[in-house]
Amino acid sequence: MATMESLIGLVNKIQRACTVLGDYGGEGMSLWEALPSVAVVGGQSSGKSSVLESVVGRDFLPRGSGIVTRRPLVLQLHKTENGSQEYAEFLHAPRKKFTDFAAVRKEISDETDRITGQTKQISNIPIQLSIYSPNVVNLTLIDLPGLTKVAVEGQPETIVEDIENMVRSYVEKPNCIILAISPANQDIATSDAIKLGREVDPTGERTFGVLTKLDLMDKGTNAVDVLEGRSYRLQHPWVGIVNRSQADINKNVDMLAARRKEREYFETSPEYGHLAHKMGSEYLAKLLSQHLELVIRQRIPSIIALINKTIDELNAELDRIGRPIAVDSGAQLYTILEMCRAFDRVFKEHLDGGRPGGDRIYGVFDHQLPAALKKLPFERHLSLKNVQRIVSEADGYQPHLIAPEQGYRRLIDGSIGYFKGPAEASVDAVHLVLKELVRKSIAETEELKRFPTLQSDIAAAANESLERFREESKKTVTRLVEMESSYLTVEFFRKIHFEQERGQDRDREKDKDKDRDRERERDRDRDSYSYRYEKQMYDRHDKQSSSNVDRYSDHYLKRIGSNVIAYIGMVCDTLKNTIPKAVVYCQVREAKRSLLSNFYTQLGKREKEKLGAMLDEDPALMERRETIAKRLELYKSARDEIDQVAWK
């Protein structure tokens, strides 16, 4: 019985492991998949049910002469807590607990009749019986209808084949251990059990030869040749058995008494005395236990592999969804700061390269700003008419004598005002890029994924900062533009004055130099406002054929306009360079330096509850993590259980 004990321990551990694995369905491995089943196979009345009972150690199967087992009986033994009451339950009557095993026997018999009628018919619909007991191992035993050679009165012709096919469907499963029962009072060469065993298990590794009814052999004959493996060789040793006779059953001889009788039989037998220690039901039970243990142990590596694989998967998933968060406020603050830093890292990567987005800021400076500047309506503002109007207005009642100082100022002031638009537009464009980068960075910060509340807190704080930077940046670029109005570059006008003198000389030399003049202009930046402006003025002038009657000649006004345009072109070039500097200084640099600094200040002042609230997770995620953590624990304990078994 020591072997049975260790088998119970082993199977229990695997049971616990498999319950864990099986509990979650799908990939889980059920206990019954991990464990082998044992089927008894043999001719009619060969003693199958008797042998099965001996292995289980209980009387509960109907027995008798003639065909008794007419439906497969799938018997699942479930080990229960020590001290708990033994009971049986049928699948066809789930809520009914049988504690009286005589009643179990009767129910098997009645249930057989329910399907087959009280005839000699058989059915392949199994009866499922579970026995819950502290004294059994978790195991499936299958009692099968006896194989027969001919159909008897009341049976269909196909019965021989039908039974064989049914039995085969059970024993051909590689997980099935075959107890091949042959009665000693028949020639072993005609044994149906051996024949089928050889067919489904040619190497004989899962077939056990059992010889029953040794006591019923003819006087003067014995089965020593069979038992010693000479008649038919099997990998496992043959076991001889003496079950209760029909007379014993009728007299209600109990199992203990039957065992004693069997032991005495072998010990006192002149033929089998030398084999006594390897004979009998108890020895068969022991042999079977040992084999089961071996087979079950062979399954351990694959069970452990499955457990390890699942543990790895669970750990990976936990890593993905994040480990649980701490409860004390210090640790929470730390977690929040860590996450802010992670976000900050991603954000900076976007700006500095490594991640896309920062280049769009350069796009604003390189493309958007110059394009906007080019579109400014200077040509309209400095049209001949406008120049004349503004210069005249600035002069007032007294026309200027040498140069229209006030006129220039007004023309320039009015023009410079136009730069505010593109300057502010650059600020706004960069603001939008930064805002988008904040949004992107939050989405891309792995660590933040599980904390929707913190995500929106960080987003709000970052956007608030960006808004502040934008205000500051707008003030600065406006100032840059205003600075251009507040003090004009003197050198420019001195140079103009000088050039104009020269120009007047040339005028005197008149149009013969006109071509040369144009050539000089062409040499200048063709893209500049002054070039385009002057060209337009020339063209217009040619068409208008100088019918002007105003204070100043068209030529003179055109000069003023083109001077202003040239000056504005210079201012434009300056602003094209300084606006980006201001924008980067006020917005980009600040975003990199102090996007979350206000947030940090606020964080320091928050109470514990508020910190906890910031770390609120998606409830579904929390639940998932809990489930995974629990499963992980179970799997680890299952692995421990099995490890203990494996190293024994």
Angle at CA of residue 506, ends 504 and 511, nearest 5° = 120
Identity of the residue, 13 or 244, whose beta carbon is nearer to ligand GTP in the bound complex: 244
Q: How far apart are CB 172 and ligand GTP at their closest, in Å?
A: 20
Identity of the residue, 48 or 206, whose beta carbon is nearer to ligand GTP in the bound complex: 48
Q: Does residue 271 interact with ligand GTP by CB under 6 A? A: no
Name the segment binding ligand GTP (CB under 6 A); options: 47-55, 303-311, 429-437, 596-604: 47-55
Long-range pairs, 65-70, Cβ under 8 A, ≥24: 65/246, 66/120, 67/120, 67/122, 67/145, 67/146, 67/148, 69/112, 69/143, 69/144, 69/145, 69/146, 70/112, 70/116, 70/120, 70/121, 70/122, 70/123, 70/145
Name the segment binding ligand GTP (CB under 6 A); options: 62-70, 151-159, 462-470, 503-511: 62-70
x/- letters, 7..46, toward ligand GTP (CB under 6 A): -----------------------------------x-xxx
Name the segment binding ligand GTP (CB under 6 A); options: 237-245, 359-367, 404-412, 558-566: 237-245
Residues 465, 593: Cα–Cα separation, whole Å: 11
Enumerate residues 63-92 that contact ligand GTP by CB under 6 A. 63-65, 67-69
> Closest CB to ligand GTP belongs to which residue?
146
CB 586 within 8 A of CB 415: no
* Token representation of residue 539: 């063209």
Q: How far apart are CB 207 and ligand GTP at their closest, in Å?
A: 17
DSSP 96-116: EEE--HHHHHHHHHHHHHHHH
Identity of the residue, 164 or 472, whose beta carbon is nearer to ligand GTP in the bound complex: 164
Q: How far apart are CB 14 and ligand GTP at their closest, in Å?
A: 30
Residue found under tokens 């509960």: 60
Which residue in 11, 13, 48, 615 binds ligand GTP (CB under 6 A)?
48
* Token representation of residue 287: 């042999």
Which residue in 115, 151, 249, 613 binds ligand GTP (CB under 6 A)?
249
Number of residues that bind ligand GTP (CB under 6 A): 26
Angle at CA of residue 573, ends 361 and 409, nearest 5° = 130
Tell which residue, 188, 279, 180, has the closest CA to residue 235.
180
Q: Does residue 246 interact with ligand GTP by CB under 6 A? A: yes
x/- letters, 453..482, toward ligand GTP (CB under 6 A): ------------------------------
Identity of the residue, 44 or 138, whose beta carbon is nearer to ligand GTP in the bound complex: 44
Pairing of strands 239-240, 127-133: unpaired
Which residue in 7, 10, 18, 49 binds ligand GTP (CB under 6 A)?
49
Which residue in 79, 244, 299, 559 binds ligand GTP (CB under 6 A)?
244
Q: How far apart are CB 121 and ligand GTP at their closest, in Å?
A: 13
* Token representation of residue 188: 């072993």
Q: How far apart are CB 108 and ligand GTP at their closest, in Å?
A: 11
Q: Does residue 335 interact with ligand GTP by CB under 6 A? A: no
Identity of the residue, 64 or 452, whose beta carbon is nearer to ligand GTP in the bound complex: 64
Name the segment binding ligand GTP (CB under 6 A); options: 60-68, 172-180, 304-312, 479-487: 60-68
Terminal-residue alpha carbon distance, the chain: 18
Identity of the residue, 68 or 584, whose beta carbon is nearer to ligand GTP in the bound complex: 68
Q: Is the sign of the CA dihedral 266, 269, 271, 274 positive or negative?
A: positive
x/- letters, 177..216, toward ligand GTP (CB under 6 A): -----------------------------------xx-xx
Q: Does residue 340 interact with ligand GTP by CB under 6 A? A: no
CB 121 within 8 A of CB 62: no
Backbone angles phi, psi at 520, to 5 degrees: -60, -40
Q: How far apart are CB 154 and ligand GTP at their closest, in Å?
A: 15
Residues 439, 441: Cα–Cα separation, whole Å: 6
R_g of the chain computed on alpha carbons: 51
Backbone angles phi, psi at 38, to 5 degrees: -120, 125
* Token representation of residue 471: 């205000």
List CB contacts of 197: < 8 A, sequence separation 6 or more.
41, 171, 178, 180, 204, 207, 209
Identity of the residue, 67 or 586, whose beta carbon is nearer to ligand GTP in the bound complex: 67
Burial letters 462-488, b for 16+ CB under 10 A, else e: bbebbeebbeebbebbbebbeebbeeb
Binding site for ligand GTP (CB under 6 A): 42, 44-50, 63-65, 67-69, 146, 212-213, 215-216, 241-246, 249
